[in-house]
Structure formats: C-alpha cells, structure tokens
Amino acid sequence: MNWITRERPKIDRIACPWLIRRFIDPEATFFFVPADDVLTRAEALHATPFDVTGAEFTHYEDRCTFDYFLEKYQLTDPALRDMAPIIRGADTDNHALAAQAAGLWAISAGLAFNTPDDQEIIEKGFMLYDSLYTWAKYLQKQPHTAQTEEKRLLDVFHSYLERKKQEKQPDWVPQLKGLIQDQIDTQFSLRELAEGLRMHPSYVSREFSRYFDDLSFGEYIRKLRIEKALDLLEHSAHSLAEIAYLTGFSDQSHFSRVFKAHTGKSPSDFRKNLSPK
C-alpha cells in the first residue's frame, strides 16, 4: 500500500510510517512531496495521504496523527499507548505531556537538519522509534545507573536523619536539657530529674536517646562533662582536682579514667600537648 505526506518529516511523519511498517503494513511505500501537492499526488499514486489538512489520517483536536492511527487500527499494545503522549507532546510542542517529549523533538529536529534526503530520514528515524518502543515495552522502570547497596543504605540513612530533624520535640526535652546543664557539676540521677519534671522516670529513660544524640542518660552526661573538662583544661588554670569537682566527677581518679576512655589521653597529657598561647 502507498502512503503520502508532506516533505521534510520530523515527528508525526516519521512516527506514523514507523507504526505503519511495524504494525499495519510491512510492505508499505512512502512518498514525501510539497504540502500543496499531497492530495493531488495521492490520486495519481493511488496513495493514502496522512498528516495533512483534508486527509482522514491527520490531527483531531489535541491529538496528532499517530493517535489517530492507534484508534483507527485498534492498536492496544501498552508500549504504543505509552509512546503516544511522547510523540504528541513533541509534535504539538506541548512538552508537558511527557518528560521525554522535548528530547524526542530535539533529536528529530537535528536528524532532519543533518539529513537532506527524506527517505534517509525515515530509515534513520525507524531506528529511533524502534529504540523508543523497546524502552517503552521493557525498560521504563530501569534507572540510568544501577543503585549500589551502599547508595541505597545511604539514602535510607539520610531519610532517617531528615525525619528526625523534622520531628517536633516534646516540651519536656528542652526543660530536661536545661536541668542537666544547670546541674552538670553536681551528682544527680535521671529519677530525680524526671520527678522534677513530674514525669515517670521509666518513660524518660526509654525516650531519652531519641532526643539526646542517640545516647543513654549516663553516656550523655559523661559526654557533657568531658566537653566541659576539655574547655577548662584549655582555657583555665584550674588544677585537675578542681576540674574534676567542677565537672561533677566524684574525684580526680574517676575523672582521669573517664577522660582517658573518651579521649585516649590522661587530662595531664592533654594539657601538656596544648599549643602555648
């Protein structure tokens, strides 16, 4: 069967010949002539005109000729149906219809610009639409780059951090932080602090790590005390015994053991290695 349309094909006038040859008429022959000559030449060549005003196979409302071929020949292949909005978006300059529409237009325009012979455009265009059909049928859910297990784990981790960041802290959390800061140089227990907030100690103990750097109560207190000790060692002339007292440790020996466990150095060695002011 002969088919005829306007010369210099780009989108619809490549997509429709591809559709005809692949799904309707494998022996189809295509002619490309000036727009004003399509209908008259169609009679002489016994060809069916398409994508031209006055032909049956053309645009209707917001649909392009490719859409009409799908409807006329009742082509229900899901891959073809997925290709339709891409082709329609590229052909009607409505790139919002499909994410791939702008790319299809760019490649098709470049193909026509680089190829002076219309039959050669069709030959090369068929390769383009074969590829688009394969993507639509088999590859739509395949990402460009494979996600490694490490990247997936990092995505989960960052998602978790983002959720934690957006969590609204209960009112008791800043109150408890204030109490701890006020009493960091004294001996106190979580039970005493919880009772001061009029909350059950077991509930505060269970929820504590969610809002305090994923640390238990004891770990968090030791962290704050070591941070305060580091500051005093660097910026004050207090003796180690005085620093132990000011940071809430029971004695200097206890302070030295905990300090070394956290920093890898004894308090005296840490102070000796400080750069002179």
Each residue of 219-237: pLDDT tens digit? 999 999 999 999 999 889 9
Return the percentage of the chain with pLDDT > 90, whole number.
61
Q: Which domains does the chain have, with CATH numbers?
A: 2-139 (no CATH), 168-272 (1.10.10.60)
pLDDT exceeds 90 at position 57: yes
pLDDT exceeds 90 at position 165: no
DSSP state of 94: -
Mean predicted confidence (pLDDT) in 184-190: 84
> What residue type is assigned to position 226 of the chain?
I
Of 43-57, 185-199, 203-217, highest mean pLDDT? 43-57
pLDDT of residue 250: 83
pLDDT exceeds 80 at position 257: yes
How far apart CA 236 and CA 258 sit, in angstroms, is 20
pLDDT exceeds 60 at position 277: no
Confidence of residue 266 (pLDDT cuts 50, 70, 90): very high
Confidence of residue 182 (pLDDT cuts 50, 70, 90): confident
Helix axes of 118-134 and 12-19: crossing angle, nearest 10 degrees: 70
Write the pLDDT tens digit of every residue in 79-127: 999 999 999 999 999 999 999 999 999 999 999 999 999 999 999 999 9
> What residue type is assigned to position 128 of the chain?
L
Q: Whole-prediction pTM value?
A: 0.55
Determine contact, residues 111/124, Cβ cutoff 8 Å. Answer: yes
- Of 38-42, 55-59, 106-110, 200-204, which range is least confident? 200-204
Residue 233: what are its φ and ψ, rounded to 5°?
-60, -35
pLDDT exceeds 70 at position 160: no
How far apart CA 39 and CA 57 sit, in angstroms, is 12
How far apart CA 261 and CA 257 sit, in angstroms, is 6
pLDDT of residue 196: 86
Determine contact, residues 88/105, Cβ cutoff 8 Å. Answer: no
Q: Could you give the count of Cα atoms lying within 13 Å of 99 in the half-sphere of its Cβ?
A: 2
How far apart CA 69 and CA 24 sit, in angstroms, is 9
Token pair for residue 134?
């394969």
How far apart CA 53 and CA 263 sit, in angstroms, is 82
Using CA atoms, how far residue 90 sits from 10, 18, 56, 172, in Å, is 10, 16, 21, 58
